[in-house]
Amino acid sequence: MAQLERLQKRIAQAGVASRRKAEEMIVNGQVKVNGKIITKLGKKVSSDDIVYVDNKKINEESFEYYLLNKPAGYVSSNRSYPNQPSVIELIKTKTRIFSVGRLDQDTTGVLLLTNDGELTQKLTHPKHRIKRTYAAWVKGIVNEDEIEQLTKPIRFDGEIYFPQAARILKVDQKRQESLIEITIAEGKNHEIKKILDFIGHPVIKLNRDMFDGITIGNLKKGQHRALSEQEVEKIKR
């Protein structure tokens, strides 16, 4: 007997969308199984069932995983925006891929892209506490008491942020700017900029140096490479 799995998982494994997005597609009537529209969650399918999303048959795909050194000026989105190029345009593949989480348009550095929707959801959900390290040039001279604040829970605007570690890398007395390294493990929207604003040091320039142990290495801005099998196995664990 063919093994059954949830419909949204099948869609995610085909690289069409994340599991959460697949659930939205089902509820919105965009999914058919064997020619019948499915609108309720909980449907299970086997490998013998034929699944369509937006009237296109999905196939089990081989997954692709890329590391991009994101340059400034690019949005981390599959959607097209006027006069705003997407990071997707920088990856040479015919496969429909998407970014693992987002970096602000002006933020640079480590960005993973893939067509593996299930892994993307795991890597971006706050409960999995995936570590991300950033280097931030900020306004003002940061002191050790302020760095200490970035190692404890911070509550403001109805949210609680849990920075993991921080240290001063460089101080420019002439420009009255500081370069700090900060590690977080949740990746909430604009998290780095918000917590640095909170301690009185707005971000001037922000670069992500590490995501779940993956670093840029020798990649120049705008360059990308496929992740190695070892790197893929690591982030899956």
- Which residues are marked as active site? 104
Gap between the Cα atoms of 99 and 1, Å rounded: 36
Q: Which residues contact 231 (CB under 8 A, 6 or more apart)?
A: 65, 67, 214
Cα distance from N-terminal residue to C-terminal residue, the chain: 30
Q: Of 35, 38, 48, whose CA–CA distance to 3 is shortest?
A: 48
